[in-house]
Amino acid sequence: MLGTFQQSNLRIEMNASHQKIADSLLCPAQFQKWLFPQTFSAGLPDRLKPGTSYTSWLGPIAVQHRVEFADENGLRLLLHQGIDGFHEWHWGDGWVQSCLEGVSLLPLNLGQTLTLMRLKQFLADLDP
C-alpha cells in the first residue's frame, strides 16, 4: 500500500442519546444518509454485525470494510484498499469517540473530523 501511516483519535460531544448514536453508526440505512456523497455496496443488512463486509466509495476511491466487532457500545472496522488499517468507534449518552489508524494517501484526520461533524449535524437534525 502506498501512502503514510497515520493515526487519529477524536472525541466529540453531541446532544444525542446512546441509542440514537448506536443506530446512526450500526444501521446502514442511517449511516448512508449522513455519509453522503459516499456510496456503499448493495445488499447491506439492516444492522452491522461481525463478519459483514462491504465497500464504500468516495468518488473513484474505494475502501473495503469488514466488521470485526459490533455491539451497542462500539464498532471496529478493518479497512483495505484506499486505507489499510482500522476504524474503531465507541459511544455513550452525549459522546462519540473515533480512533482511526492506517496507511493511505488520503488525509485521514481531515476526513475523520468531517465525518464526526456530519454525524453531529445529522443527529441534531433528528431532534430539532
Burial category of 60 from C-beta neighbours within 10 Å (exposed 0-12, middle 13-18, buried 19 and up): exposed
CATH number at residue 46: 3.30.530.20
Number of folded domains in the chain? Answer: 1
pLDDT at 126: 84
Handedness of CA 117, 27, 79, 54 (dihedral sign): negative
Return the ∠ at Cα 40 (arms to 82 and 43), rounded to 5°: 130
pLDDT at 2 exceeding the cut of 90: no
Q: Mean pLDDT, to the nearest integer, of 59-78?
A: 96
The Cα-based distances of 33 to 27, 122, 125 in angstroms read 10, 8, 12
Residue 127 has pLDDT above 80, yes or no: no
Contacts 24+ apart (CB under 8 A), 46-54: 48/75, 54/28
Q: What is the pLDDT of residue 1?
A: 67
Where in the sequence is the domain holding 104, given as residue range(s)?
Answer: 4-126
- Give the tens place of pLDDT for each residue, 73-102: 999 999 999 999 999 999 999 999 999 999
Does residue 128 have a pLDDT over 80? Answer: no
- What is the pTM assigned to this prediction? 0.93
pLDDT of 107 higher than 70: yes
